[in-house]
Amino acid sequence: MPRNRFDLAGKVAIVTGGGRGIGKAIAVGLAEHGADVVLSSRTQTQIEQVAQEIRNLGRKALPIVVDLTKMSDLDRLIDGTINAFQHIDVLVNNAGQSHEMPAELVEEKEWDSTMSVNVKAPFFLSQKVGKVMIRQGKGGSIINITSEVVQKVELNVGPYCPSKAALHSVTKILAKEWGKYNIRVNSLAPCFVETELNSPFFAQKEWYESKLKLVPLGRHSVPDDLVGAAVFLASDASSYITGTTILVDGGLTA
């Protein structure tokens, strides 16, 4: 019988921002391919609902309410995962935020909150997960959700663009440092995904139609469009891929 290189059976994955949008889609997708999933979010009801969806697939799910800007909460997320499953194989740093405003109106509070959630949190959570993976001695996969703005900046999201560029750099740094442990670190870079985070943009008809004209595939993406690439990076199918970015952008940056 041929080997299924995309099989995630026996693997444990942590997905941040797992209660909605891209995080929810990826969490369920990983479970569909056999993984048990730990879901983190600040909203209990959301991750409880996703956890039940995963359990309905016959997989285990653990929802943990976490404020990613607090180091103590990151430790609690790691401890909760280890206590429940004894190991960690995959981390998806999905949680993020953005502020829609022109650069001249950005204040320190918007800058700091964006950098804290989009860069600081995934770096230190990756560090903590990386230490676990190093101790385990069997490698692992870390997947950062960046954005097409790492190649093509957008207007009126001043703090967001540099925060994703920084996470893009973190991906490469960790990939280089941890390759010797067989810990692979990659990123997925979507564009214009129809999520709650992006709803202010999609509510603007002129913006919606103008951006749609730039996408060769002729449609804006939905969270499910990222699932296949996430499963690929989490699985043995990508065992010789690290430090790279997969653009899931419908050809926008081509």
Q: What is the tens place of the pLDDT at every residue in 15-50?
A: 999 999 999 999 999 999 999 999 999 999 999 999
Is 5 a member of any domain? no
| Domain limits for position 228 | 12-248
Is 3 a member of any domain? no
Is 165 a member of any domain? yes
- Active site amino acids: 160
Is 1 a member of any domain? no
Is 254 a member of any domain? no
Total tally of structural domains belonging to the chain: 1
Q: Which residue has the tokens 């109106």?
A: 105
The reported pTM is 0.94
CATH assignment of the domain containing 191: 3.40.50.720
Question: For residues 195 and 21, is the Cβ–Cβ distance under 8 A?
Answer: yes
Span 75-89, average pLDDT: 98
Is the pLDDT at 222 greater than 90? The verdict is yes
What is the DSSP secondary-structure string of 87-103?
---EEEE-------B-G
